[in-house]
Amino acid sequence: MYQPPTQHRIHQPARIDAAAIRSLIGNGEQVTVQFTQDRLPAQLLADLDALAATCGPALEIRFFGASAEPFDADVLRALPHAVNLSLDCHMRAIHLERLGELGRLKRLHLGVRHLAELDILALDTLRGLEALSLGETGKGQIDLAPLRHWPQLAQLHTTGHVKNIDAITALPALTQLSLSQVKSRDEVDFVGAMPALTRLRFILGGRASIAHVTAPRLEELEVVRVRGMENLGDIGRFPLLARLSVEEQIKLTEISLGANPMLEWLVLRNCKTLLRLRGVAALPALRALAVSQTQLDFDLLVAEGLPRALRQFSFGTGKRQRDKEIDAQLTQLGYAKAPYY
């Protein structure tokens, strides 16, 4: 799937080295300055805020939980220029209304296990967000209804939150959606009504099938560790799909690739009951195929024919000697190793 920029973390700095951070960002890296506490020197916060004013979303400011004490969001009053903010791994938090004072905020990761403010997204200032990630909150679900008023939202990740999720269906900019820990009883048909969706990810949670899920403009699909998944449906219903990754699906026995003229990259990993991969030979654009820990028969797969466009091919069985033999055969056939990411 999509590979983010290289991540560089600076943990608990005693001072802000603005020149070094700007250099890293200038080299294309994503820099995270992170703290496990909310009581920090005023000068350090001032220097961090000044840097945030010039670095934009490439600079993430992160406060993550490391104690039983609630995170005090009052510290955000010293960071009015924050653009990319993560408040995660906290058990509790207080004064989260301070998020409403961050007028330049574009990216927010919020992870508070016992979140009291389940209507937090109603803060008017958050309407300008472009990316939102919501962590698990235990029993209560964050109300997603306010998202209907977020016209700039392009990326959304939600961990178990589906309350009023259909509010996102008409958002013109929302291209990336990641659904984590969505339960089998929760409907996901709303995906088909999202006009701009190009990347979709299902991770964790449970459901037997996504065969009914449609997305006319989808380019990337990832299905990872979804409990009980038995049926992906005909992948040909995604005519623009360029990347498909299916990982750790222990009940999936078959994948049917239909008319997927754009599919370039396919990863199948740790699907231990997967016996059949239909249609791979007919994929005209497939350049990379990575298979590991499945029940697919390597010799049969090769005998049935491989796409002419294929340049990278990896196949692992978990058996050391057999894998060496396969690697040697693939090298002889002229294939380079395909990455598993």
Domains defined along the chain, listed by start: 1-134 (3.80.10)
CA 19 – CA 149 distance, rounded (Å): 38
Q: What is the pLDDT of residue 66?
A: 67
Q: What is the pLDDT of residue 37?
A: 84
Q: Which residues pair with 35 in a beta bridge?
A: 63
Give yes or no for a contact between 122 and 144, defined as CB atoms under 8 angstroms apart.
no
Q: What is the pLDDT of residue 77?
A: 96
Q: What is the pLDDT of residue 1?
A: 43
Q: What is the pLDDT of residue 3?
A: 55
Which two three-digit tokens encode residue 334?
């002229």
Give yes or no for a contact between 322 and 299, defined as CB atoms under 8 angstroms apart.
no
CA 83 – CA 53 distance, rounded (Å): 8
Q: What is the pLDDT of residue 333?
A: 93
Q: What is the pLDDT of residue 6?
A: 83
Q: What is the pLDDT of residue 285?
A: 97
Ranges of residues in the chain with a pLDDT under 50 are: 1-2
- The answer to whether the Cα torsion of 73, 79, 83, 88 is positive or negative is negative
Q: What is the pLDDT of residue 2?
A: 45
pTM of the model: 0.91
